[in-house]
Structure 1
């Protein structure tokens, strides 16, 4: 009985570890995605500013 309990405990711990690892990877991927979105937003804002700048130059 002792070996079964130990084996079951080890399996449970490994399962928890795998789930925690997956959760950490998911969080990291989400954070990376958010950062990419922020970078894309900055690039978009810069492009819009350039277009508005060109529009103002050609309007005058």
Structure 2
């Protein structure tokens, strides 16, 4: 898979060297829910598919 610079995907330019990459985690948000139960159900579906999914609460 070809790796593209982050600015190909986001408005901010961030480059990570290969040496630093082992200390970096990339996150992908797959949904936003107003109901915690729905968020937990989505997390469980993702886990069944083999993804390490978490629910994070934040203020609007």
Shorter-chain TM-score range:
under 0.3
Q: Which has the larger share of helix?
A: 1
TM-score, normalised with respect to structure 2: 0.27
TM-score, normalised with respect to structure 1: 0.27
Greater relative contact order structure (CA < 8 Å, 6+ sep): 2
